[in-house]
Amino acid sequence: MAYIPSAAPTTAPRSPVAIAAREGKAALAFVERNFFLTKRYWGWEAAFLVYTAASSLSIMFIGASQDGDTDRLILFLAIGTLVWGYLNSVFMNVAETIAWERWEGTIEYTMMAPVSRITHMVGMSLFAILYGLVRSTVLFLVLVALFPEMSLSAANLPGAALVIAVGSISFIGFGIVGAVLPLLFPEKGEQMTFIISSILLLVSGVYYPVEVLPGWMQPFSAISPATYVLEAMRAAILDGAATASLLGDLLALSAIAIVSIPVGLAIFGYFERYAKRTGRLKRSG
């Protein structure tokens, strides 16, 4: 007789602790799955990492080629490339929540599972942060190896860590909003996500102060969370600014997170129901 597992419980756990445990397990399912996928696509991961390292080094060599004392400029550019690499990785991993499932043809199975959309996003966000941190660490080591003159002796590292933590959450909110696009536009949604990422790169002061942007572009800088992360990170690392002096940027990032995450989830829920009414879950990208 074939093996069939014992019947699973059909009633939901009722205590908050049991519910949290169940949802936590489900969130980790997404982390584990994405880890498996990253392992299987290791060739592409390696290729993309090499490309990112080469791009980052190219920018820093541009800085090194300038006249005068370039140490500060090199560190300025290093902060930009590492922070942007991390934040963009978080954004794209969350924003591709649906696009990836469409590409693999698994979207219906995941949507049918007894997992809340919040849990789904928490799982994807957890992986995005872990993945971003690992990637950024590897990149940092590469940059330090080729630019050993970079010094962090004056840096307020705890302050910088706090900025990255709060900034990550604000970017997750943007990512959730971005994840709606492949849900709504099966064919072009992922392309739209790339456009959003590109605009954020342009207006957030990644490689230059935002003041050099044309006047009409500067308001866009104000709504990009990357702008505040980069400003605060550079203050903490380049100038050793105290954590208390970073409060303005931290408050802006917190406000963005507080607004974007629930709004993103509400928009996602609305368009998930729209997709179920119109049969768009079935269509693959």
Partner 1 sequence: MIVSGISAQHPDIAVRLDGVSKRFGSEKPSRFARLMRRAPGETPKLTRALDNVSLEVRRNEIFGILGANGSGKSTLIRCISTLLIADSGRISVFGLDVREDESAVKRLINRVSVEASFFKKLSPMENLLYSSRLYGRGGSTLRRDIKQILVDLGIPAERVDMPLETMSRGMQQKVAIARAFLTAPVLLLLDEPTTGLDPRSKKEVQRFVQELRERHDATVLICSHDMDEAEQLCDRIAIMDGGRIVATGTVEELKRQVTPRTGQIDPTLEDVYMALTGHDLKDTEEELVVASVA
104 scored as a contact of partner 1 (CB under 8 A): yes
8 scored as a contact of partner 1 (CB under 8 A): yes
> Which is nearer to partner 1, 22 or 162 (by Cβ)?
22
String marking each residue 44-83 x if it binds partner 1 according to CB under 8 A: ----------------------------------------
Q: List, in order, residues 6 or more apart from 66 with CB less than 8 Å away.
A: 73
Looking at residues 170 to 199 of the shown chain, list those that interact with partner 1 (rule: CB under 8 A): 184-187
138 scored as a contact of partner 1 (CB under 8 A): no
Of the candidates 55, 58, 66, 106, which one interacts with partner 1 according to CB under 8 A? 106
Residue 232 buriedness (CB in 10 A; 0-12 / 13-18 / 19+)? buried
115 scored as a contact of partner 1 (CB under 8 A): yes
Cβ neighbours, 10 Å, residue 245: 14
Hey, what amino acid is at 220? F
> Which is nearer to partner 1, 26 or 64 (by Cβ)?
26
Q: At what angle do helices 71-95 and 97-104 cross, to 10 degrees?
A: 50
215 scored as a contact of partner 1 (CB under 8 A): no
Looking at residues 17 to 46 of the shown chain, list those that interact with partner 1 (rule: CB under 8 A): 22, 25-26, 28-29, 32-33, 36-37, 40-41
How far the first Cα of the chain sits from its last, in Å, is 41
153 scored as a contact of partner 1 (CB under 8 A): no
Kindly write down the DSSP assignment for every residue of 70-120, as one continuous string: -HHHHHHHHHHHHHHHHHHHHHHHHHTHHHHHHHHT-HHHHHHSS--HHHH
Looking at residues 253 to 282 of the shown chain, list those that interact with partner 1 (rule: CB under 8 A): 273, 276-279, 281-282
4 scored as a contact of partner 1 (CB under 8 A): yes
The answer to whether residues 285 and 102 touch, using CB atoms and an 8 Å cutoff, is yes
- Token pair belonging to 142: 């590469």
Q: List contacts with partner 1 (CB under 8 A).
A: 1-12, 22, 25-26, 28-29, 32-33, 36-37, 40-41, 104-116, 184-187, 273, 276-279, 281-282
